[in-house]
Amino acid sequence: MGWSERDVPDQTGRTVVVTGASAGLGLENTRALAAAGARVVMATRNATKTAAAADRVRRAVPGAVLEQVDLDLADLASVQHAAAVIADRHDRIDVLIANAGLMATPESRTVDGFELQLGVNHIGHAAFVAALLPLLDRADDPRVVVISSEMHRVGRIDLDDLHWDRRRYQRWLAYGQSKLANLLYVRELSRRCEAAASPITVAAAHPGYAATELQTKGPSMQGGLSGRWMDAANNVLNAIIAQPAAEGALPQLFAAVAPGVVSGSYWGPQGLRGMRGAPGPAGRSSAAKDERVARELFDRTEAMTGVSHDLPA
């Protein structure tokens, strides 16, 4: 038997922020952490949808302590406002799970002009993490968990064209670039936390193939015949191959709470070529181990967001 929700340590007195907490993996993390006694801050874009999701959690976990904070990762002003609200409510954060994301969307831009998938999956989350580092640094065993994907293997970081201004846009390669960026970010932030002697553990996780809204959100944004075909195909694959969202959420839950998680580590399902099963160490592409690109992408991300990852000396 592998690691499961039954192995989650008592989280009483701990505060966890989960982005994208209103559905899928984020909702499952919210439920499991609330059941273990944590106060969960649901950082989400749709307050109405989140209220309904919170009601579901409270029915499953009577007495669950939940909060909601408006967060649109495609808008840096919203990111900063959400971080300010959390800082006003809490003097520390124990765990931040950067879970929200988009996959294979049509070409589009964030409010600030970034390619949408990179902007939401990587840049918006990086700005959010940076703004909350001081609160994390005050906690005992603080952790940042960033959700990547095995699709990082098809990604390539083009530092001269991060937002597909010159290349012909390809939504799957753009998604792969954003997920590779997640792993490079974890690598560099982990290195910087260690250099600053910060107690923050930074880890990455991927869900394998889990049945969530992620597979259908991109096609629904695309529209047209091809979008409907992709939506139908994904629904079939979800029914036949995918593991339930609660199981897909285990690797990120493990990275967030399991004892002995090492900073810079990467976790994912161990069965069916990493698509399903109990969590364990996950492999990465050679591109995800490139220290030079990790450092340069990190610096450029700070420049794009205007937010520095300041850590106490």
Query: One digit per residue, pLDDT tens: the chain, 313 residues?
Result: 589 999 999 999 999 999 999 999 999 999 999 999 999 999 999 999 999 999 999 999 999 999 999 999 999 999 999 999 999 999 999 999 999 999 999 999 999 999 999 999 999 999 999 999 999 999 999 999 999 999 999 999 999 999 999 999 999 999 999 999 999 999 999 999 999 999 999 999 999 876 566 655 655 555 554 555 454 445 545 544 657 888 999 999 999 999 999 999 999 998 766 566 789 999 999 999 999 999 999 999 999 999 999 987 6
Could you tell me the two tokens for 56? 């579901």
CB atoms within 10 A of CB 48: 9
Identity at 137, one-letter amino acid code = D
Q: What is the pLDDT of residue 233?
A: 45
Can you read off the two tokens belonging to residue 61? 């976990």
Asked if 86 and 80 touch (Cβ cutoff 8 Å), the reply is no
* Three-state helix/strand/coil letters over 191-254: HHHHHCCCCCEEEEECCCCECCCHHHHHHHHHCHHHHHHHHHHHHHHHHHCCECHHHHCHHHHH
Measured CA to CA, the distance from residue 278 to residue 312 in angstroms comes to: 36
Selected catalytic residue, list 169, 175, 185, 209:
175
Look up residue 273 and give its amino acid.
R
Cα–Cα distance for residue pair 31/253, rounded to 1 Å: 11
The C-alpha atoms of residue 110 and residue 125 are separated, in whole angstroms, by: 13
175 is catalytic: yes
Which pair of tokens denotes residue 160? Answer: 């001269």
| Tokens encoding 258 | 């399991």
Question: 40 and 10 in contact (C-beta within 8 Å)?
Answer: no
- Which residues make Cβ contacts (< 8 Å) with residue 20, sequence separation at least 6? 26, 43, 44, 99, 100, 101
Closest C-alpha among 80, 69, 81 to residue 16: 69
The alpha carbon torsion through 225, 226, 228, 231 (nearest 10 deg) reads 180
- Looking up tokens 């294979």 gives 104
Q: With contact defined as beta carbons under 8 Å apart, do 66 and 42 qualify?
A: yes
Cα angle for residues 238, 239, 240 (degrees, 5° grid): 95
Q: How far apart are CA 91 and CA 114, in angstroms?
A: 32
SS3 145: strand
Q: Which two tokens stand for residue 175?
A: 């998604």
- Tell me which residue of 260, 279, 286, 124 sits closest to 207, measured CA to CA: 279
